[in-house]
Amino acid sequence: MRPRVILAVALGVLLTACRAAPPPPNVVVILVDTLRADHLGVYGNRSGLTPFVDGFADRGIRYAHAYAGATWTLPSVASLFTSRWPSQHGVVNLASVLPATERTLASVLRERGFATAGFLASRSLPAAGGLGQGFEVWEEVVEPGALQGSGRGLNARAFEWLDARPAADRRPLLLYLHYMEPHFPYEPFPDRLEAALAPYHFTTEQRAAWDERVGLFLEHAVGEGVGRPDDMPVVRDYYLAAVATADVVLREVVEGLTARGILSNAVVVLTADHGEEFYEHGAVGHGTNLFDETLRIPLLLHAPGRVPEVVPNSVSLLDVAPTILELIGAKPEARFEGRSLVRPESREAAYAELVSTPAGKPATQNRAVVHGDAKLATTPAEQEQFFDLARDPGERDPDALDPSARAALRRALDGFRVRAGRDAGTAERRELDAETRERLRALGYVQ
């Protein structure tokens, strides 16, 4: 064969290979702290105050029954990144440091040539805690003196960073965005608060009284255990207004990322780390139990070539990282405990645990497994609570389910406990300075 012919054939093979291997998609993980699923329209809320997220869900894949790995931020986000349960990665208290031996989603993607950046409107996940492992940029976007940052401030900083990227940097991107709007102390946009409170038809005097009453509650309730359960319907609507505010800033970030071409070829995940309780089971806040108001989270996915659908299986936040790896064409990570949701044979049960609580209070439940509408939770004293979520979504009857369903849940729980007990690491501890402790106390995490 002549040299020119050989060269032409070689070029043809090379061009074919290039066409057969498109660039990997960008990955955008959007986490809204403290967002319980049932305050979104697409998960059953009828207020009409989350039109953007509802439309986003309708255009993608919605996991109807998704659960966090724990019900407070540090262990839950660590489980998102490592795809391992808290008893394995060891991030179980405010002073925990994620071990450097852990493999994180960011570490894996960075090794594969991704640019990795995380922007957080929170000071609860500092770089010193190790959760920024694998990120080239891990930045708290919080104004000096503020407890937490705003979504619009977070968006502006993320856009600034994206716009400053060198044109020559053509690496695919992992972008992590952590919003705080629904987190205590709930500071919604005024128009969203007006919309949430409109059904009450408050007079000016009534509204002023409620603002003062709820303000006092928000100032004291989480940290000091005060506040009246009878006030919770209105307090929940202040929270709903904060969720509605998140809906606005999420619309703005998606529009901004679209305008910058980030989402033209991208895997996008929108989720939460946990929910929020309003005295449904004797507490307010999160991190002390595994009832659905704190455990169940939204999980929405957009990915190239994936058509909209609703997935009814019980899935876990630990499944996010393996799913992303499969969607970008990467091999599974051996240490990841989650399962790719791309595969139809993904497990249909989700497991969660509370090794400790953020404020050091005793947990009322420490393990839970959910399979469809059947749920088993255990207490630290090894008492079993069986719930039928179809008949009793509020989890009022802990003595439900027939013997065969109970036996199946026990087997599932035993299997998860064995898995969570193997290959366990031990996190280091860091010292919390006085300023950090005071900020955490103001957020309700430290007594």
Give the pTM.
0.92
- Element containing residue 314 per DSSP (H, E): strand 309-316
pLDDT, one tens digit per residue, over 154-198 is: 999 999 999 999 999 999 999 999 999 999 889 999 999 999 999
Q: What is the pLDDT of residue 423?
A: 80
Q: Is the pLDDT of residue 317 over 50?
A: yes
Q: What is the pLDDT of residue 319?
A: 97
Report the C-alpha gap between 302 and 371 in whole angstroms.
24
Q: What is the pLDDT of residue 212?
A: 85
Task: Compute the Cα dihedral for 256, 257, 263, 268 and give only its sign.
Answer: negative
- Give the amino acid at 193: L
Report the C-alpha gap between 376 and 368 in whole angstroms.
6
Instruction: Give the CA count within 13 Å in the CB-facing half-sphere of 203.
Output: 2
In DSSP notation, 325-379 reads: HHHTTPPPPTT--S--TTSTT--S-EEEE-SS-TT-PPPS--EEEEETTEEEEE-
Q: Is the pLDDT of residue 60 over 60?
A: yes
Q: What is the pLDDT of residue 109?
A: 98
Q: Give the pLDDT band of residue 37 (cuts 50, 70, 90).
A: very high
* C-beta separation of 367 from 417 below 8 A: yes
pLDDT, one tens digit per residue, over 361-376 is: 789 999 999 999 999 9
Q: Give the pLDDT band of residue 220 (cuts 50, 70, 90).
A: low
* C-beta separation of 75 from 287 below 8 A: no
Q: Is the pLDDT of residue 249 over 50?
A: yes
pLDDT, one tens digit per residue, over 376-425 is: 999 999 999 999 999 999 999 999 999 999 999 999 999 999 999 888 77
The two structure tokens encoding residue 110: 């960075």
Report the C-alpha gap between 155 and 158 in whole angstroms.
5
Across all residues in the chain, what is the average pLDDT?
Answer: 90
Q: Give the pLDDT band of residue 18 (cuts 50, 70, 90).
A: very low
- Give the amino acid at 306: R
DSSP one-letter code for 181: T
**Which distant-in-sequence residues (6+ apart) come within 8 Å of 443 by Cβ?**
124, 147, 148, 183, 184, 222
Among 287, 275, 352, residue whose Cα is nearest residue 319? 352
The partner residues of 137 in beta bridges, in order of sequence, read 117
CA 418-421-426 angle, to 5 degrees, is: 175
CA 447 to chain CA centroid, Å, is: 25
Instruction: Kindly provide the b/e burial profile for residues 217-253, where b requires at least 16 CB atoms within 10 angstroms of the residue's own CB.
Output: bbeebbbeeebeeebbebbbbbbbbbbbbbbbbbebb
Domains and CATH numbers, the chain: 24-349 (3.40.720.10)
Among 162, 234, 154, 241, residue whose Cα is nearest residue 196? 241
- Give the amino acid at 194: E
Task: Compute the Cα dihedral for 79, 83, 86, 92 and give only its sign.
Answer: negative
For residue 14, the tally of other CB atoms under 10 A from its CB is 10
Note the residue count of the chain: 447
Q: How far is CA 380 from CA 199, 377, 430, in A?
A: 41, 10, 26
Q: What is the pLDDT of residue 290?
A: 98
pLDDT, one tens digit per residue, over 286-313 is: 999 999 999 999 999 999 999 999 999 9
Q: Name the most confidently modeled range: 205-214, 224-233, 339-348, 383-392.
A: 383-392
Q: What is the pLDDT of residue 360?
A: 76
Tell me the mean pLDDT in the region 34-56.
Answer: 98
| Backbone torsions φ then ψ of 209, nearest 5 degrees | -65, -40
Among 275, 290, 179, 190, residue whose Cα is nearest residue 236? 275
Q: Give the pLDDT band of residue 222 (cuts 50, 70, 90).
A: low
Q: Is the pLDDT of residue 276 over 50?
A: yes
Q: Is the pLDDT of residue 437 over 80?
A: no
The partner residues of 28 in beta bridges, in order of sequence, read 175, 268
Q: Give the pLDDT band of residue 228 (cuts 50, 70, 90).
A: confident
Portion of the chain with pLDDT greater than 90, in percent: 75
pLDDT, one tens digit per residue, over 73-100 is: 999 999 999 999 999 999 988 888 999 9
Query: By CB neighbour count within 10 A (0-12 exposed, 13-18 middle, 19+ buried), where does 373 fall?
Result: middle
Report the C-alpha gap between 153 and 119 in whole angstroms.
10
Tell me the mean pLDDT in the region 260-264.
Answer: 98
Q: Give the pLDDT band of residue 7 (cuts 50, 70, 90).
A: low
Q: Give the pLDDT band of residue 12 (cuts 50, 70, 90).
A: low
Phi-psi region of 16 (alpha: psi -120 to 50; beta: other; left: phi over 0): alpha
Among 242, 94, 103, 95, residue whose Cα is nearest residue 179? 242
Q: Is the pLDDT of residue 343 over 90?
A: no
